[in-house]
Structure 1
Amino acid sequence: MSLGAIGVSGIVALLVLLLIRIPVAFAMFLVGFLGLWIVDGWNTATGLLASETFTLASMPELVVIPLFILMGNVASATGMSRQLYDAAYAMIGHVRGGLASATIIGCGGFAALSGSSVASALTMGKVSLQEMERFDYDPRLSTGSVAAGGTLGILIPPSTGFVIYAILTEQSIGRLFMAGILPGLLLLAMFVLTVLLICTLRPAYGPRGPRTTWHEKRRALVGALPILALVVVTIGGIYRGFFSPEEAAGVGAGLAVLYGVATRRLTLAELRDAVRDSVVTTATVMLILIAAHLLNPFLALTHVTESVGNLLAALDLNVLGTLLFILAVYLVLGCFLEGFAMLVLTLPIFFPVVLELGIDPIWFGVLVVLTLEMGLISPPVGINVFIVKSVAAAVPLGQIFRGVLPFWLAMILALAVLIAFPQISLFLPNTMFD
């Protein structure tokens, strides 16, 4: 069997393993390790496993993952997410669809702490779905807004998706974080406009909530100041050059813990649970990265990456056409594969082509992460939809998928805007203090 045939067989085997729900890390490890063994021998496979594991474990850049995850977990335990939702609720809850819009804003704010789409959807679902049910919101709008709002967690920094992209492509984590801010705010605004449009066309979907007094608004905004201060210190510190991303993660996690202790909202048991969840999530990400660093050499040795590059060249597309083709592949794969799996599987293949075409790697990272977001609410996988289903057990899965469709279309529009105007993504990275 030729090297090319072995490489294609490995990719097919990987896709089959992922489709039958084998964990991403184990599937990639199995294909990568066995593929290297077949192509270049046992010594190469075991040598790479040992060296790559040590190299990744000693990378200081990866410390941002457990620390930012810890910051989000502690913020959730201390009620910061609830305070942010209450502030948005107090300001716009009285308009049609206001509770759904407040949920999306709350998801965006919590995303700036957790960096996790799943955590954002789960936390804000617990906070807001019961409230929207109390005011007779249509289940399609309420669940759709939570599932879509949760996707902001992978775009608004600190984003685990950006960290993985940075490690795999050797790009700056800080620049990628900055690149995600304006696109994240753009997408959040489009989600809110989507809610307003739905409630204008179908007023019964989002009845008006209670009107609050100025005193209640002011009190709610004061309650949200800790979470806003935490975001300003960490993300603003990276932008101004006061902190590296690793230092900002440590400062953010430390401040979140200090806030919980000072306000007596964080018990020792809750801190222990937050640390344990952070360790588990970090271990999962590390396993995926180790497996990716076994899979990538296998793809290179079997010339799969070179063959895909030649195929794209043979299509004779211009730069924009090639970019659209790559993003279309991500959109299709997002219907079946988990986001991190797509990154580690496709970046070794597509990224050399992107660099050869002169496409800015930071801008490309934003576009890729946005397409990964779309996979979070695309059937049949749509992990955020299943997360919301776990909170809203009485709502049929089909209704939730119908509820996210308008937001999915809003994401397509946002993607088109970011392709047409790259400076939306590149403005902050190009002006930040390194």
Structure 2
Amino acid sequence: MGGIEYFVIGMTVMFALMLLHVPIGFAMMLVGFCGYATLVGFTPAASTLMTSVASNVSSFSLAVVPLFILMGSFASLAGLSDDLYRLAERMIGHRRGGLAQATILGCAVFGAICGSSLATAATFGRVALPEMEKRGYATSLASGTIAAGGTLGALIPPSIILVIYAVMTESFILDLFVAALIPALMAIICQFVAIYITLWRDPSLAPAGRRYSTAERIATAKSALPSIGFLVIILGGMYGGVFTVNEAAAAGAIGAMLLAIARGKLTVHTLRSTLIEAGRNTGMIYLIILGADMLGYFVTITGAPEAFVSFIQTAGYAPIVVITCFVLMYIVLGSIFDTIAAMLITLPFVLPVVESLGYSVIWWGIVTLAVIELGMITPPIGMNVFVLHAVAPHVPMSKIFRGVMPFILTDLVRIVLLVSFPVLALWLLQ
């Protein structure tokens, strides 16, 4: 058998293992190791695996992953996202749909901190959904807003997923953070537009809320000052060149812990549970990275990436046609897999094609994450929808899917713009 046959068999076995609920990291590592060992021998494969583990675990760039996870855990414990959600609700909640827009902003901040679309959807399903239903919001709009808002965190720095993409593609982390700023702002605006269009068609879906007094708004802003200051110092220091990304991650973890201590939220019990949660999340991410690394060795030695590039070039397809096919593929994968897994499974053979077409690796990272996150709310699967339904079982999935449709449409417009005009992601870098 040739390398391509081994590649096809390996991918088939890997997806079969995933369907059998084998953890994605284990499935990738098992297929990668066994396939590599079959082609080059057990001893070289074992040596490669040990080298991969040692290099990734000791990687200076990947050190930011556990630090950002720890920062997110402490920030969540300190109530940072609650502060900002409450502030947004006080400022714009009186408008028709204002509470939904405040939820979008809250999801954006929380998602950027925790790094997980699923966790964001679950958290705001418990916090924001009851509040919106109490205010008279239609269940479809409320649930659709939360499911869609959960997808925002992947592009908003400091995004763990962007860090992983940067490490796996040997890109500069800060370049990806800078490139993500305009697309992230576009994502928030598009979701605001989706809410506006929904209410323009049917104003009864969301009543106007209470208008808070100036004194109440000032009081809420004062209580949120520590959280705002924390974000300004960490993000401003990173973009302003005061911190490196690693230093910003370390400072953020310490700062979030001090904020939790100052608010009396950090006890021996909460410290223990926070560290355990951060350790579990870090272990899960590292397992996926190690599995993807080993899978990458196997895929490379089969010659599949080169064959794929050669086929595309020989066929003479226009670059935009190839990119469109990749976009459709990622929408499907995003509806089935977690964002990190969907990205890392495909990188070994997609990235060489993208580079051969003359596109920027930085730009492609932004497009990839935007498309995969869209898949998280796309029927018929949509992982965010399933998670939200699990948190709020009284909301039928049909209503959630109906609620996310306007967000899917505006997100498609955003992705078309990003693909058509790469400068939207690259302008700040230039």
TM-score (norm 1): 0.95
Q: Deviation digits for residues 276-316 of structure 1, max 9, x if unmatched?
A: 11111110010011111111111111111112112222331
CA contact (8 A) 1:111 1:158 kept: no
Q: Give the C-alpha shift of residue 56 in structure 1.
A: 0.4
Query: What is the rounded CA distance, in whole Å, between the counterparts of 1:240 and 1:96 in structure 2?
Result: 37
2:14 aligns with 14
Matched, 1:322 2:322: yes
**Higher deviation after alignment, 184-193 or 113-122:** 113-122
**1:304-383 residue pairs with structure 2 within 5 A?**
304-383=304-383
CA distance in 2, matches of 1:64, 1:400: 35
Cα drift, residue 423 of structure 1: 2.6
In structure 1, what is the Cα distance between the partners aligned to 2:80 and 2:231? 12
Letter in 1 for 2:60: P
Query: What's the offset of the Cα at 1:265?
Result: 2.8
- Alpha-carbon distance in structure 2 between the residues aligned to 1:77 and 1:56: 29
Aligned partners of 1:426 and 1:195: how far apart in 2?
28
CA contact (8 A) 1:76 1:123 kept: no
- Identity among equivalent pairs (%): 38
Instruction: Please tell me the residue identity of whatever aligns with 1:10.
Output: G
Q: Deviations over 1:236-292 (max 9, x none)?
A: 222111111111111111111111112223323222222211111110010011111
Name the stretch that deviates more: 161-170 or 306-315.
306-315
> In terms of mean alpha carbon deviation, does 157-166 or 333-342 score higher?
333-342
In structure 2, what is the equivalent of residue 300 of structure 1? 300
C-alpha deviations, 1:160-179, integer Å up to 9, x for none? Answer: 22122112111111111121
Distance of 2:112 and 2:331 partners within structure 1:
25
1:115 and 1:159 in contact (8 A); partners too: yes
- Counting only pairs closer than 5 Å after superposition, residues 14-413 of structure 1 correspond to structure 2 as 14-413=14-413
Deviation by residue 1:412-434 (Cα, 9 ceiling, x = unmatched):
1111122233232123334xxxx
Residue identity in the other structure for 2:296 = N
For 1:402, give the aligned amino acid.
R
Is the aligned partner of 1:428 residue 2:428? yes
Gaps of 5+ in 1: none
Which amino acid in 2 is paired with 1:181?
Answer: L
Cα distance in 1, alignment partners of residues 375 and 64 from structure 2: 24
* Cα RMSD for the two superposed structures: 1.6
- Letter aligned with residue 366 of structure 1: I
1:379–1:294 Cα change, 3 Å: same
Q: 8 Å contact 2:333–2:372 — kept in the other structure?
A: no
Q: Contact between 1:385 and 1:400, CA under 8 Å: does it hold in 2?
A: yes
Counterpart residue identity of residue 352, structure 2: P
Where 1:21 maps in the other structure, the secondary structure is coil
Distance (Å, rounded) in 1 between the aligned partners of 2:224 and 2:182 = 21
Code of the residue aligned with 1:188 in structure 2: it is I
Supply the distance in 1 between the matched residues of 2:75 and 2:20 (Cα, whole angstroms).
35
DSSP 3-state at the match of 1:429: coil
Gaps of 5+ in 2: none
Distance 1:217 1:194 in 2: 26
CA contact (8 A) 2:238 2:244 kept: yes
- Contact 2:85/2:103 (8 A) holds in 1: yes
Q: Deviations over 1:87-136 (max 9, x none)?
A: 11111111111111110011112233223222322222222111111112
Q: Name the CA distance, whole Å, in 2 between partners of 1:248 and 1:285.
A: 20
Checking the alignment, whether the CA contact within 8 Å between 2:66 and 2:278 is kept in structure 1 is yes
Residue 415 in 1 paired to residue 415 in 2? yes
